[in-house]
Amino acid sequence: MNERSGFSAQRLVAMIVKEFTQMRRDKLTFAMMLGIPVIQLLLFGYAINSDPRHLPAAVLMADHGPQARTILHALQNSTYYDFVREVKTEREGRDLLARGQVQFVINIPQNFSRDLVRGDRPAILVEADATDPAATGQALGALTSLFDQALINDLKGPLEFLAGTAGPVDVRVHALYNPEVITQYNIVPGLMGVILTMTMVMITGLAITRERERGTMENLLSMPTRPSEVLIGKIVPYIMVGYVQVGIILLVSHYLFHVPMLGSLTLLLAAAFVFIAANLSLGITISTVAKNQLQAMQMTFFVFLPSILLSGFMFPFRGMPHWAQWLGEIFPLTHFLRIVRGILLKGNGLADVSRDIWPLALFAAIVLTVGVKRYRRTLD
Amino acid sequence: MSEELAIDVRGMTKRFGDRTVVNDIALQVRVGEIYGFLGPNGSGKTTFIRMLCGLLRADGGSGTCLGHDVIRESESIKRNVGYMTQRFSFYEDLSIAENLDFVARMYGIPGRREAVNASIERLGLSGRQKQLAGELSGGWKQRLALAACLIHQPKLLLLDEPTAGVDPKARRDFWEQIHELAAEGLTFLITTHYMDEAERCHRLAYIAYGNLLTHGTVREVIDHVGLATWSVSGPDLASLARQLRGKAGVRQAVAFGNMLHVSGDDPEALERAIAPFREGREWTKIRSGLEDVFIHLMDRSKDNFDA
């Protein structure tokens, strides 16, 4: 007659079998768990671009000399600028910017070509709508070298003295891992983390509250169960769902987006296990705290938004102040993004990724402990 | 029925905030007994049952349930108790067989498959075991719930309004089964609103606003309340009832079909009250029924509560 019986594998199996059966019956949720990764991957994978090109620009041409035209062509050829309008006055250009019809107004002053040839260093004014710095940054960054290069051909012979001299240092940049700056190489692996976070936290977040709302909790509590059996029993089936999602995402990213896979697939799957477990622990703990399914959903979003914004998925992690980086380190997504990008794009090995795996494991352990402690064994 | 006690608790108390829902209740139920637990809605019956099987922490009280300490040993109690909740609380998206199988696994029953099959057989659910629980009618859900509660062979069954929303035929079958199981030595604590069911219990307790008002056999409960009742038939009983209500000595006047039951706790005062209305109607002194007694108890406790 031992009052505190230990953890029972049999009861755990009972929970797992039950959860699997219920998952299978809930056709819509099941379809969503498999459909969401594909839809989101296609949507965001093709839609998000961190290197925007073909931005609409207007030009105020007060000079029609050959050098002025060269510069215009050079801007167009860079593919950053698409000239859609020619304006007559500065005022007109400002209006277009204010209305958002163009992103840039290029102002080529009177006598530009003449002044250039005389060596007077004429000025070109580029006005940009910089409300969204990310939209204009790359295009503006390309300007200086663009002008220098563009005029090289025009400044031959007697004008050669005007061509810029090489600087004192020859700078060479090797953009490693993603030299062609393909946004998808960064976004698609990141989406794996985002999609797993969303589905895993949300689905388990509803797990306990659903039992509570349907009245089945009363029955479950009247049986001799231990909290860990119930909670782990609800987590295990979704680990498998998580792996199905990982598989789908990897296939899509390989065949549609041609994201390179430099590192070990086994290592990635092992790391994904820890990440999935961390998210499920978080979800199940939310579920023990929330009073109903609506609260659980709200809490899920409370976690989801900072996960996306502070993890380095949307904005550069290193661009954030230190306190925000510290905060970001808490979220599993932050670590998983480093792991998945590291393995896929950099070919990182176990030694490289282990410093991001242990924080995930720690997170899972702490959060699950809180969940087990919070799990109410009575209806009080 | 033996003298051994399946439930023996005293001073059971539960408060939600500053509201006392169960107030100092003592209850003794013998092994093999069918014990009826009656009282109006919100009187604390469900709360009391939940405390017995460890679903709610008691704020006060002591005693034993199946020999285990009711406060400290709720895990052991849970293993030997079947609790059938008021609202169907098995999984509607699992089939009958899957629900039973889940329960059997949870209790670690040896020979699980056979136990599940036997249970399906015994309850006449064969051929429907693949049906989802959510698609069952009220009567079948109740059968399933009972089968699931019995699968781990508990010694005590706590049934919370088991026949609510179940048709008369199914109710009768259900009570037949309860009596058979009790004869095999199972103990029952059953809450109900139906008087015919109350009369099928070996003993009863009546609880209102958290207080235990009376308990004993049907006979004892009726005698204990000491209600005198007259049955009257004749013309225009509705206006008679209106005139009698509120008269000194008359506690209640309740229509029963073509009869009116007029009751009071002081027989002489009651007779004085009805004397002016004797003419033209047929008056018979009858033994108070359980229903008369319970309506009376309910009204009286309401008066006390409101006061």
CATH number, residue B296: 3.30.70
Q: Are B204 and B274 members of one domain?
A: no
Q: Cα-flanking dihedrals φ and ψ of residue B141, to 5°?
A: -60, -40
The DSSP letter of residue B43 is: S
Query: In the numeric block, which tokens belong to residue B165?
Result: 């929303």
**Cβ atoms of A185 and A345 closer than 8 Å:** yes
Whole-angstrom distance, CA of residue B288 vs CA of residue B228 = 6
Whether residue B142 is predicted with pLDDT greater than 50 in this model: the reply is: yes
Whether residue A110 is predicted with pLDDT greater than 50 in this model: the reply is: yes
- Give the number of C-alpha atoms closer than 13 A to the C-alpha of residue B120, restricted to the C-beta side: 21
**Cβ atoms of A337 and A311 closer than 8 Å:** yes
Percent of chain B at pLDDT exceeding 70: 97
Residue B304 has a pLDDT of: 63
Whether residue B299 is predicted with pLDDT greater than 90 in this model: the reply is: no
Q: Are B212 and B299 members of one domain?
A: no
Q: Are B262 and B233 members of one domain?
A: yes
pLDDT tens per residue across span B150-174:
999 999 999 999 988 888 888 998 9
Q: Confirm or reject contact between B213 and chain A (CB < 8 A).
A: no
Q: Are B83 and B61 members of one domain?
A: yes
Report the run of H or E that residue A355 belongs to, with start and end.
helix A350-374
- The whole domain housing B276 covers 225-306
Query: In the numeric block, which tokens belong to residue A29?
Result: 């949720």
- Residues of chain A with Cβ-Cβ distance to B79 below 8 Å are 224
The torsion region of residue B207 among left (phi > 0), alpha (psi -120 to 50) and beta comes to beta
Among chain A residues, CA nearest to B148: A219
* Residues in contact with B258: Cβ distance below 8 Å, sequence separation at least 6, in sequence order: B233, B237
* Average pLDDT of chain A to the nearest whole number: 89
- Which spans in A64-177 are helix H? 66-77, 90-99, 112-118, 133-141, 143-152
pLDDT tens per residue across span B87-107:
999 999 999 999 999 999 999
Coil, helix or strand at residue B108: coil
Please state the domain extents for chain A: 9-48+181-374, 55-162
Q: Do B93 and A25 touch (CB under 8 A)?
A: yes
Q: Are B68 and B206 members of one domain?
A: yes
pLDDT band at A2 (very low <50, low <70, confident <90, very high): very low
Q: Are B167 and B262 members of one domain?
A: no
Q: Which of A42, A151, A5, A347 is nearest to B77 (CA)?
A: A5
Q: Which of these three, B197, B216, B235, is where a domain ends? A: B216
> A8, A19, A22, A219: which to substitute to probe chain B, counting the most B Cβ within 10 Å?
A219
**Cβ atoms of B228 and B270 closer than 8 Å:** yes
Q: Are B189 and B252 members of one domain?
A: no
Report the run of H or E that residue B116 belongs to, with start and end.
helix B112-122
- Residue A166, classified by CB atoms within 10 Å of its CB into exposed (0-12), middle (13-18) or buried (19+), is exposed
Q: Do A222 and B53 touch (CB under 8 A)?
A: yes
The stretch A267-296 carries a mean pLDDT of: 94
Q: Confirm or reject contact between B105 and chain A (CB < 8 A).
A: yes
Packing angle of the helix pair A66-77, A143-152 (nearest 10 deg): 130
Whether residue A286 is predicted with pLDDT greater than 80 in this model: the reply is: yes
Q: Confirm or reject contact between B81 and chain A (CB < 8 A).
A: yes
Any idea which of A164-168, B51-55, B239-243 has the lowest mean pLDDT?
A164-168
What residue type is B204 in one-letter code?
A: L
ipTM of the complex: 0.86
- The CATH number assigned to the domain with range A55-162 reads 3.40.1710.10
pLDDT tens per residue across span B227-237:
899 999 988 88
Q: Are B79 and B199 members of one domain?
A: yes
Q: Do A14 and B102 touch (CB under 8 A)?
A: yes
Count of structural domains, chain B: 2
Whole-angstrom distance, CA of residue B112 vs CA of residue B98 = 12
Residue A163 has a pLDDT of: 65
Q: Do B78 and A14 touch (CB under 8 A)?
A: no
For residues B147, B153, B157, B160, the Cα torsion angle rounded to the nearest 10 degrees is -30
Whether residue B1 is predicted with pLDDT greater than 60 in this model: the reply is: no
Q: Are B56 and B172 members of one domain?
A: yes
- Cα dist. A250→A20, A40, A41, A110 in Å? 24, 13, 10, 56
User: Which residue from A4, A225, A379 is facing B50, i.e. has the nearest CB?
Assistant: A379
**Cβ atoms of B305 and B213 closer than 8 Å:** no
- Count of beta carbons in the 10 Å neighbourhood of residue A49: 11
Coil, helix or strand at residue A15: helix
Shortest distance between the Cα of A216 and any Cα of chain B, in A, equals 4
Whether residue A152 is predicted with pLDDT greater than 80 in this model: the reply is: no
- Residues of chain B with Cβ-Cβ distance to A11 below 8 Å are 105-106, 108
Whole-angstrom distance, CA of residue A237 vs CA of residue A259 = 29
The stretch B109-135 carries a mean pLDDT of: 90
Q: Order of strands, edge to edge, in the sheet holding B203-208?
A: B81-84, B156-160, B187-192, B34-38, B203-208, B211-216
Coil, helix or strand at residue B138: helix
User: Which residue from A215, A217, A223 is facing B106, i.e. has the nearest CB?
Assistant: A223
For residues A232, A234, A239, A245, the Cα torsion angle rounded to the nearest 10 degrees is -160
The stretch A73-101 carries a mean pLDDT of: 91
- In CATH, what number is assigned to the domain containing residue B73? 3.40.50.300
Q: Are B49 and B134 members of one domain?
A: yes
The stretch A172-177 carries a mean pLDDT of: 85
User: Which residue from B75, B87, B91 is facing A3, i.e. has the nearest CB?
Assistant: B75
Q: Are B290 and B151 members of one domain?
A: no
First vs last Cα of chain A: how many Å apart? 26
Whether residue B306 is predicted with pLDDT greater than 70 in this model: the reply is: no
Q: Confirm or reject contact between B102 and chain A (CB < 8 A).
A: yes
Residue A49 has a pLDDT of: 86
- Residues of chain B with Cβ-Cβ distance to A219 below 8 Å are 83, 85, 89-90
pLDDT band at A58 (very low <50, low <70, confident <90, very high): very high
Whole-angstrom distance, CA of residue A341 vs CA of residue A227 = 36
Q: Are B210 and B265 members of one domain?
A: no
Q: Which residues pair with B283 in a beta bridge?
A: B232
Residue A341 has a pLDDT of: 94
Q: Which of B41, B42, B50, B48 is nearest to B13 (CA)?
A: B48
Most confident of A111-115, A210-214, A353-357, A376-380: A353-357
Among chain B residues, CA nearest to A15: B102
Q: Which of A247, A258, A262 is nearest to A343 (CA)?
A: A262
pLDDT band at B77 (very low <50, low <70, confident <90, very high): very high
User: Which residue from A21, A26, A222 is facing B55, i.e. has the nearest CB?
Assistant: A222
